[in-house]
């Protein structure tokens, strides 16, 4: 009976979805609402540094925000990849 069901219905396993390009998937993580807000803040920091270049605090803040956005997007990307690998 089991052999008959195997022929009729096939193996009992999940079908694999087509994967997305990892670079595109990473860019999608960088385009969520919170990341866009942080990118806008970083760009404003760089613009403020360019307008008044004697104080480097805006440059440092822009660099820190950029690093934080990239790090959080990378962690989110890795977690999504691991969860997809489990499925």
d(CA 42, CA 60): 10
> Phi and psi dihedrals of 15, rounded to 5?
-85, 140
For residue 14, the model assigns a pLDDT of 72
Q: Is residue 15 part of a domain?
A: no
Predicted TM-score (pTM) of this structure: 0.73
d(CA 79, CA 51): 39
Q: Is residue 1 part of a domain?
A: no
Structural domain for 43, as ranges: 20-86
Distances (CA, A) of 37 to 57, 61, 66: 20, 14, 11
Q: Is residue 69 part of a domain?
A: yes
Average pLDDT over residues 63-67: 96
Confidence of residue 10 (pLDDT cuts 50, 70, 90): confident
Q: Number of folded domains in the chain?
A: 1
For residue 19, the model assigns a pLDDT of 78
Q: pLDDT tens-digit profile of 70-85?
A: 999 999 999 998 988 7
Q: Is residue 8 part of a domain?
A: no
Q: pLDDT tens-digit profile of 21-52?
A: 889 989 998 899 999 999 999 999 999 999 98
Q: Is residue 5 part of a domain?
A: no
Q: Is residue 31 part of a domain?
A: yes
Q: Is residue 81 part of a domain?
A: yes
């Amino acid at each position: 009976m089991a052999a008959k069901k195997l022929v009729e219905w096939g193996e009992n396993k999940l079908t694999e979805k087509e994967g997305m390009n990892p670079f595109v998937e990473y860019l999608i993580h960088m385009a969520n609402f919170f990341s866009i807000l942080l990118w806008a803040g970083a760009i404003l920091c760089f613009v403020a540094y360019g307008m008044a270049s004697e104080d480097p605090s805006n440059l440092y803040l822009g660099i820190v925000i950029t690093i934080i956005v990239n790090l959080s997007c990378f962690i989110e990307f890795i977690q999504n990849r691991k969860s997809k690998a489990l499925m």
